[in-house]
Structures are given as structure tokens and as C-alpha cells.
């Protein structure tokens, strides 16, 4: 490895190839839930840091949705000042161990990294994760004195927990209400252990408890109390609503209600949260299919099909109505899935789930498609090929074609919703139509990403602090 610094000037190691990911062998990891990627060692991180050019105009920072000062934390890694590097990230993001693992870096910071123009971009996500996995090195955050104001946060996904942490540091008394029996939102019920270990999320939640945040689990707001009660008799000064967009979209085709046809979020929740993979030790069962077909092309579909593979599927298919090139899933996840033996079936759309003699799903009738003219999204529209209909046998079918707004936003009430049930909120401040309610994350934007949900929580906490303290 060459020294990046020559005569006090940073000189990147332009010859070094991108440091390869530290992955478990695909044929072994495909049978259990161990993390696929072990992360960089110190040597790997320093070698990768040396590849960064410390650009005068770092496009990576512009590409990051929360504008983390990427070259600065990379330089700190090179200097082995890991705690200081973590402090740089913490100025913009409190969840580097999570975002380093799940952010779609290829469309963000790494997608615009200058090194990517003539080769491979710097492995920014891996470097972020490397620091995020050493939280004990960070400086202790400054805590403002208690200000006597109380805020209720509804939902403990990345948006809710970020907002709660920022508010607690700013001196507020914060209670997080969560409908599940544990915190983390999609980070624990959706994203599987092999991509994001539960222990990483638990560490963040434990950290918030240490800051004085109270968590009230099994508390479905809208049922237990609505906005009026929370801001009235319960005595909160303000609310942050971050209930997510977890309501599944229906395919609306015959047979969708057959046994062993699942929505991806339900299937993943059964395994990730209710530990259906360990049935009967845990109470929740799920069908361990031998031939599993998943409809969709995003991260959710990818998580579902890789989970099915780990539950013992001999044939695990990801069926998508466009081609692999248009799949919205992270490229790394598609690559991992294929390495683990997942079969990609492009250009098919489901028409009907078929019922077997035992009453369960036994197959699916699909329509073969071809790509036509581009649609509003700029992607070529899939159009049916006349007469090209076939049957594929399966004993589990999973639909992962997207989600809608969580309907509880309506029951919580007190703020304007749009016609699809999403909360109308200012994207810069999180302010809603009610001056005492802020909102952010997927329940405002629609299904998006962890980093955007986190960023919304951070911005809202800053605005709430200003407004509630009259600054
Ligand atoms: P959520 O994470 O959905 O959290 C909302 C929380 O609110 C939940 O815990 C819910 O139980 C709770 N809640 C809802 N209603 C109530 C109520 N009435 N009372 C109390 N609590 C309530 N993004 C990425 O960036 N990278 C990825 O790799 C990625 N993979 C994904 C994989 C899956 C399977 C899924 C489903 C999503 C994935 N996403 C990914 C998207 C990302 O996880 C979401 O954009 C993000 O979690 C949204 O955060 P949030 O805080 O707005 O909502
Ligand atoms: Fe380093 Fe790439 Fe950012 Fe330039 S764009 S500073 S090379 S990470």
C-alpha cells in the first residue's frame, strides 16, 4: 500500500483495486441466518481509505442524502483515528452501523464517487460500517439540560428512533410508542438477520434508553390513544408520527387468499420477529416451502426469496415483470441472492394462484411479458406477449409488489392526510397541518429508504426544538 500523504499533500493510492467485501462463502451461508458480510478488518479499511482522492469537490457528499462529510471520515480512518471518524459521521447520522449495511450506496455516494469514473468507487458503505461497528469509540454526546417539555414519538423505526435520540439530547422528555413488542420497525421485522443483525439495532435502542428515552411497546396508537388524547389528558407538548408504510398492496388476482400465499412483510415478520424458522420452539409457524416463488424486484422481494432459501427451498425463484436491469433492489443483494442459488425469472406477471388437492397453493399461472415503450418513470413498460401463458408449480408464493401507507395515521388523527393516506408534512421541517404534530419517514414519503427516514427524524427534531423552546 502506498502512503496517501506526500509532502503534506494527500495522494491517493490510484493503483489499488477496490477492497473486496469480506463475505461468508455463498454455499455455506445460504443455509442459515448468519451475517453474509463480516465487514472490513482494520487493515482492509485502511487500505480502502487510501484509495480516496480527497476530492476538492467531493461528489460523494452531494450524493449522500444527509451530506455526511465522507472524505473527512475516510481520512480519519487512514490516520487510525476511528473515534474521530465516527464523530464526523455522527454530525449527520446516528445510525452508521445500520446505514453502512443497508443504504443503496451504488445509487448515492458510491454512484457518484470520482474513482468510479475509471474503475471502482471507494467502498464508502463498508468504511461507514467499519466505524459504526465500533460505537464505544465515539465521543459522549453533549446533553442539554432538561427543559421540562414532553414529546411522544409514534413508531420506533429509523425515523422515530432518530428523532427520539435528537430530542433527548436536546433536553426533552421523550416517550416512544411502538405497536410491536420490540423496537426498530422494518430494521427488525423486515430486514433479515443475515443482512442486519438484530444486535446492531438493539444497541441503538439501548443507547436511547441510556439517554432517558422511554419505550412503550405493544402500544397501538390510534387504538390506545389518539392525537387529541396524547396532546390533551396525557400531557404531551408535541408528537412526532413515524408509523411507516407497511400495509401490503394486493395483487388482486384469483387465489390470493389460498393457504401458503403470503405478503412479503408478513412472511418476513413471521421469521425475523416471531422466529418461525425455529417452530415449534417458538409458537409462530410458517410453511417451509420446497418450491417458492416471490413476485417483485425490490429489496423486500430479495429478502423474502433469500429467507425462503434459508428455510430449505430447493427452488427459490424471484419473478419480476421487467428485466434484471430494471430491478430496484440493491445490486449487492441481487448478486448475493444469485450466488446463494436464487433463480431470477424476468418478464413474468402473475395471473392466478392455483389450488392443489389439499386446498393449499400448488402453482401459479403467469403471463410472459416483453418490454415496450418507456413509462412515466423512464423505464420501459412491460407488456404482455399474447398467448404466452404458463404454469409454474410452487408450494409457497410470496407477493412483494409494494406497500401502502399505514392506516393508523388516520386513526391517530389531528393532521391532514393526502388521498392515499400519507401524512402531508413539510419535507424540510416535518411540520404537518397541526402546529403540535410533526411527521416523517415512509408515512410521509411513501416506501423509501432507511437514510431518508432517519434524515427526516433528524430534521424534525431540530425544528421541534426550535419551535417548542421558542428559539
Ligand atoms: P418503519 O421502519 O416502517 O417503522 C414504523 C414503525 O411504526 C414500526 O415499528 C411500526 O410497528 C410502528 N407503528 C405503526 N403504526 C403504529 C401505531 N399506530 N402505534 C405505534 N406504533 C406504530 N431501505 C434501505 O435503505 N435499504 C434496504 O436494504 C432496505 N431493505 C428493506 C427491506 C424490507 C423487507 C423492507 C420492508 C424495507 C426495506 N427498506 C430498505 C426500506 C426501509 O426499511 C424503510 O424505508 C424505513 O424503515 C422507513 O422507516 P420509518 O421509520 O419511516 O418506518
Ligand atoms: Fe473520495 Fe470518492 Fe468522495 Fe472523491 S468522491 S472524496 S474519491 S469518496
- Residues 112 and 36 occupy one common structural domain: yes
- Residues 295 and 426 occupy one common structural domain: no
Please report the pLDDT score of residue 70 as a whole number: 98
- Residues 383 and 358 occupy one common structural domain: yes
Closest ligand 1 atom number to CA of residue 223: 18
Domain limits at 464?
A: 150-246+405-469
Percent of the chain at pLDDT above 90?
Answer: 88
Distance CA 149, CA 36 (A): 43
- Residues 332 and 345 occupy one common structural domain: yes
> At which of 355, 379, 402 does a domain end?
402
C-alpha distances out from residue 11 to 8, 75, 120, 125, 232, Å: 9, 11, 17, 22, 60
Please report the pLDDT score of residue 24 as a whole number: 93
Q: Please state which of the ranges 2-16, 87-101, 125-139, 413-427 shows the lowest mean pLDDT.
A: 2-16
Q: Domain count of the chain?
A: 3
- Residues 460 and 398 occupy one common structural domain: no
227 lines ligand 2 (CB under 6 A): no
Task: Tell how far the Cα of 460 is from the centroid of ligand 2, in angstroms.
Answer: 29
Instruction: Decide the pairing of beta strands 238-241 and 150-154.
Output: parallel
221 lines ligand 2 (CB under 6 A): no
111 lines ligand 2 (CB under 6 A): no
Tell whether the model's pLDDT for residue 283 goes beyond 80: yes
Tell whether the model's pLDDT for residue 9 goes beyond 80: no
- Residues 109 and 123 occupy one common structural domain: yes
Please report the pLDDT score of residue 471 as a whole number: 82
CA angle (81, 85, 86) in 5-degree steps: 120
> At which of 402, 429, 457 does a domain end?
402
- Residues 270 and 367 occupy one common structural domain: yes
Domain annotation covers residue 142: no
Task: Tell how far the Cα of 248 is from the centroid of ligand 1, in angstroms.
Answer: 12
Please report the pLDDT score of residue 123 as a whole number: 98
116 lines ligand 2 (CB under 6 A): no
Q: How confident is the model at residue 279 (pLDDT cuts 50, 70, 90)?
A: confident
Closest ligand 1 atom number to CA of residue 155: 7
Task: Tell how far the Cα of 455 is from the centroid of ligand 1, in angstroms.
Answer: 14
- Residues 292 and 411 occupy one common structural domain: no
**Which ligand sits closest to the CA of 61?**
2
Domain annotation covers residue 14: yes
**Which ligand sits closest to the CA of 127?**
2
CATH code for position 67: 1.10.1060.10
Say what the pTM is.
Answer: 0.94
Tell whether the model's pLDDT for residue 10 goes beyond 80: no
Domain annotation covers residue 219: yes
Which pLDDT tens digit goes with each residue over 48-92? 999 999 999 999 999 999 999 999 999 999 999 999 999 999 999
Name the closest-CA residue to atom 24, ligand 1.
Answer: 449
**Which ligand sits closest to the CA of 115?**
2
Domain annotation covers residue 143: no
Question: Bridge partners of 353?
Answer: 364
Domain annotation covers residue 145: no
The phi and psi torsions of 455 (rounded to 5 degrees) equal: -60, -40
Which pLDDT tens digit goes with each residue over 321-367? 999 999 999 988 999 999 999 999 999 999 999 999 999 999 999 99
> At which of 74, 108, 137 does a domain end?
137
Pocket of ligand 1 (CB under 6 A): 102-103, 154-160, 177-180, 185-186, 190-191, 219-222, 242-244, 246, 265, 268, 299-300, 303, 330, 406, 408, 441-442, 447-451, 453
Contact assessment for residue 338 and residue 344, using Cβ atoms and an 8 Å cutoff: yes
- Residues 30 and 173 occupy one common structural domain: no
Please report the pLDDT score of residue 285 as a whole number: 83
Name the closest-CA residue to atom 40, ligand 1.
Answer: 449
Name the closest-CA residue to atom 1, ligand 2.
Answer: 52
CATH code for position 286: 3.50.50.60
58 lines ligand 2 (CB under 6 A): yes
Tell whether the model's pLDDT for residue 125 goes beyond 60: yes
- Residues 323 and 392 occupy one common structural domain: yes
Domain annotation covers residue 23: yes
Mean pLDDT, rounded, for 169-198: 97
- Judging by beta carbons within 10 Å of its beta carbon (0-12, 13-18, 19+), is residue 285 exposed, middle or buried? exposed
Please report the pLDDT score of residue 7 as a whole number: 65
Please report the pLDDT score of residue 348 as a whole number: 97
Please report the pLDDT score of residue 4 as a whole number: 63
Task: Tell how far the Cα of 124 is from the centroid of ligand 2, in angstroms.
Answer: 9
- Residues 371 and 412 occupy one common structural domain: no
Please report the pLDDT score of residue 8 as a whole number: 64
Domain annotation covers residue 345: yes
Domain annotation covers residue 144: no
Closest ligand 2 atom number to CA of residue 54: 6
- Residues 342 and 431 occupy one common structural domain: no
Q: How many alpha carbons fall within 13 Å on the CB side of residue 257? A: 0
Amino acid at each position: 500500500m502506498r502512503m496517501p500523504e506526500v509532502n503534506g499533500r494527500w495522494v491517493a493510492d490510484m493503483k489499488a483495486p477496490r477492497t473486496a467485501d469480506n463475505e461468508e462463502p455463498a454455499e455455506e451461508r445460504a443455509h442459515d441466518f448468519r451475517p453474509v458480510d463480516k465487514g472490513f478488518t482494520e487493515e482492509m479499511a485502511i487500505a480502502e481509505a487510501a484509495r480516496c482522492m480527497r476530492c476538492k469537490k467531493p461528489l460523494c457528499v452531494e450524493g449522500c442524502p444527509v451530506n455526511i462529510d465522507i472524505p473527512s471520515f475516510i481520512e480519519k480512518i487512514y490516520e487510525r483515528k476511528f473515534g474521530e471518524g465516527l464523530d464526523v459521521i455522527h454530525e449527520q447520522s446516528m445510525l452508521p452501523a445500520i446505514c453502512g449495511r443497508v443504504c443503496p450506496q451504488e445509487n448515492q455516494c458510491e454512484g457518484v464517487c470520482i474513482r468510479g469514473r475509471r474503475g471502482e468507487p471507494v467502498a464508502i458503505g463498508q468504511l461507514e460500517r467499519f466505524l459504526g461497528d465500533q460505537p464505544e469509540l465515539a465521543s459522549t454526546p453533549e446533553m442539554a439540560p432538561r427543559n421540562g417539555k414532553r414529546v411522544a414519538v409514534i413508531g420506533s423505526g429509523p425515523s422515530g428512533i432518530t428523532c427520539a435520540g435528537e430530542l433527548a439530547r436536546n433536553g426533552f422528555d421523550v416517550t416512544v410508542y411502538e405497536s410491536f413488542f420490540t423496537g426498530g420497525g422494518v430494521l427488525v421485522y423486515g430486514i433479515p438477520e443475515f443482512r442486519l443483525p438484530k444486535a446492531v439495532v438493539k444497541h441503538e435502542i439501548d443507547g436511547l434508553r441510556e439517554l432517558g428515552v422511554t419505550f412503550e411497546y405493544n402500544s397501538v396508537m390510534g387504538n390506545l390513544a389518539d392525537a387529541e388524547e396524547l396532546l390533551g389528558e396525557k400531557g404531551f407538548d408535541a408528537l412526532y408520527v413515524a408509523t411507516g408504510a407497511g400495509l401490503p398492496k394486493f395483487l388482486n388476482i384469483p387465489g390470493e387468499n389460498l393457504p401458503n400465499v403470503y405478503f412479503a412483510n408478513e412472511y418476513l415478520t413471521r421469521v425475523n420477529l416471531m422466529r418461525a424458522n425455529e417452530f415449534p420452539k417458538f409458537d409462530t409457524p410458517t410453511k417451509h416451502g420446497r418450491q417458492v416463488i416471490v413476485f417483485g424486484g425490490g429489496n423486500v422481494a430479495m429478502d423474502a426469496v433469500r429467507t425462503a432459501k434459508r428455510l430449505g427451498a430447493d427452488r427459490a425463484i424471484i419473478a419480476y415483470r421487467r428485466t434484471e436491469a430494471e430491478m430496484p433492489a440493491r445490486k449487492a443483494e441481487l448478486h448475493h441472492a444469485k450466488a446463494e442459488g436464487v433463480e431470477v425469472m424476468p418478464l413474468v406477471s402473475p395471473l392466478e394462484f392455483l389450488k392443489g388437492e389439499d386446498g393449499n397453493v400448488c402453482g401459479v399461472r403467469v403471463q410472459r411479458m416483453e418490454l415496450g415503450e418507456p413509462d412515466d418513470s423512464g423505464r420501459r413498460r412491460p407488456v404482455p406477449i399474447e398467448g404466452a401463458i404458463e404454469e409454474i408449480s410452487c408450494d409457497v408464493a410470496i407477493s412483494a409488489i409494494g406497500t401502502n401507507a399505514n392506516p393508523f395515521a388516520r386513526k391517530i388523527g389531528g393532521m391532514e392526510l393526502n388521498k392515499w393516506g400519507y401524512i402531508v408534512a413539510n419535507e424540510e421541517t416535518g411540520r404537518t397541518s397541526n402546529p403540535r404534530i410533526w411527521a416523517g419517514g415512509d408515512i410521509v414519503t411513501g416506501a423509501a429508504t432507511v437514510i431518508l427516514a432517519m434524515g427526516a427524524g433528524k430534521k424534525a427534531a431540530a425544528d421541534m426544538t426550535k419551535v417548542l423552546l421558542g428559539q
